[in-house]
Amino acid sequence: MTRPIRVEINHSALRHNYLQSRKQTSGRRALAVIKADAYGHGSLGCAQALADMADGFALLNIEDAIALRQAGIQQDIILLEGPFDRAEVEAMATYRIGGAIHSPHQIAWLREGSLPGPVEVWLKINSGMNRLGFRPEQVAATLARLQSLPQVHTSTIMTHFATADDARGVAAQWQAFAPVAAASGLAVSAANSAAVFRHPQTHGDVVRPGITLYGCSPFAECHGAALGLQTTMTLSADIIATQQLQAGDTVGYGLNFRAEHAMRIGIVACGYADGYPRIAANGTPVMVADQRSATVGRVSMDMLAIDLSHLPAADIGSRVELWGPNVAIEEVAAAAGTIGYELMCAIAPRVPRQLI
Ligand SMILES: *Cc1c(COP(=O)(O)O)cnc(C)c1O
């Protein structure tokens, strides 16, 4: 017997979502962002599923990038934070992997490394987010330095937006970035998923959708379905026990839920050690026996409880959708005070992944 929990990954929905994102940008090149193991979906499998349509892939780890090359992926592969040490610069050249260059110490590695071939560089600009990148006024000098290095090919200038998903938009950052981007003569890349869907002036030459590939909306006020996206990830687990409660009975740790009247509950084989958020409030939606229901009590490490009072058909062995096509991940995220990104990325390795 295996523990009855699984996360199902739908590659045809992923392909639909890639094309849906590209449709927004009238033919711009689109790098599929597959960092964080493709937001929990499996980066190699997702890259292979998109191999005949994606213009390229963006991720963080050189090891994952090399795995894509070794699996036969031919497209551009870009490391979004560039090399983390000198040895990675050499591996980038060996495996034809490009990367963001955001700081002078990375340029020193490029200069000092003995590179077996050319390295593609994306010059990263800090236009206001203040995580990574050169300031706009440093672009000319930095670009000159990069262009003096024989083995370095600087193809693209990039930045990243802090509020493309909310009402504050991209205006201030775009104003800081656009003039230096245009003056650089390089290909321009700025748009994440939110900017792909909402800020067409930032589409430039290459866009970088992430979350929308996985069917989830970047916007707080709408779900992915409203953007024409399909669900790529379904987390489900089965009921392994039921309990009949009397009025006044409590459920789980902390006595966080007290029954107001007699009710029946189901115990589901999914907990926070699987990646379901412990902080998800009483009443977080689930789907079971073709009906919506909700969690009761605090999520435990390996189990959670749901209300079955109105669901006589649900019993031991019934499958409970925790998020998926019937329970939007955005709803669960809202009940946990977080975003779909975090839930997808938090799926634990112990949860078996199945392709559907
Ligand atoms: C993660 C990331 C993206 C994709 O962001 P989404 O909001 O998931 O579309 C794009 N660019 C960079 C630099 C990133 O780190």
Question: Would you call 35 a catalytic residue per the annotation?
Answer: yes
Substitution site in 156, 160, 197, 202 for ligand 1 pocket (most atoms within 8 Å of beta carbon): 160
pLDDT at 27: 82
Residue 254 neighbours by CB under 8 Å, 6+ apart: 298
Q: Please tell me if the CB atom of residue 224 comes closer than 6 angstroms to any atom of ligand 1.
A: no
Report the C-alpha gap between 174 and 201 in whole angstroms. Answer: 9
**Ligand 1: does its nearest atom lie under 6 Å from the Cβ of 308?**
no
Confidence check: pLDDT of 74 > 70? yes
Whether 192 is in the pocket of ligand 1, judged by its Cβ within 6 Å, is: yes
Q: What mean pLDDT is predicted for residues 11-38?
A: 95
**C-alpha distance across the termini of the chain, in Å:** 21
Domain boundaries, the chain: 11-216, 233-355
Mean pLDDT confidence for 18-40: 95
**Cβ within 8 Å of residue 319, ≥6 positions away:** 236, 237, 238, 288
Please give the distance, rounded to the nearest whole angstrom, from the Cα atom of residue 192 to the centre of ligand 1. 5
Residue 145 annotated as lining a ligand binding site: no
The finding on whether 193 has its CB within 6 A of some atom of ligand 1 is: yes
Out of 35, 39, 214, 341, the active site residue is 35
Fold classification of 11-216 (topology level): TIM Barrel (3.20.20)
Query: Tens digits of per-residue pLDDT, 269-302?
Result: 999 999 999 999 899 999 999 999 999 999 999 9
**pLDDT higher than 80, residue 1:** no
User: Is 131 flagged in the annotation as binding?
Assistant: yes
What's the 209 CA to ligand 1 centre distance in angstroms? 6
User: Candidates 81, 206, 208, 341: which one to mutate for ligand 1, based on the most atoms within 8 Å of Cβ?
Assistant: 208
Whole-number Å distance, alpha carbon 115 to ligand 1 midpoint, is: 29
Predicted confidence at residue 85, as pLDDT, reads 95
Indicate whether residue 33 lines ligand 1 (CB < 6 A).
yes
Cβ burial, residue 132 (10 Å; 0-12/13-18/19+): middle
Confidence of residue 115 (pLDDT cuts 50, 70, 90): confident
Angstrom distance (rounded) from CA 287 to CA 294: 8
**253 a catalytic residue:** yes
Q: How far is the CA of 291 from the centre of ligand 1 (A)?
A: 35
Helix (H) or strand (E) holding 188: strand 187-189
CB 210 less than 6 A from any atom of ligand 1: yes
The model's pLDDT over 294-312, given as tens digits with 9 standing for 90+, comes to 999 999 999 999 999 999 9
Contact 99 CB / ligand 1 (< 6 Å): no
pTM of full prediction above 0.85:
yes
Average pLDDT of the residues in 74-87:
97
> Whole-angstrom Cα distance, residue 342 to residue 122?
27
Q: How far is the CA of 211 from the centre of ligand 1 (A)?
A: 8
Quick one: fold of 233-355? Lyase, Ornithine Decarboxylase; Chain A, domain 1 (2.40.37)
* Two domains, one topology: 11-216 and 233-355: no
- What is the four-CA torsion angle of 69, 73, 77, 80, rounded to 10 degrees? -80
State which ligand 1 atom lies nearest to the alpha carbon of 192: 9
Res 219 pLDDT > 90:
yes
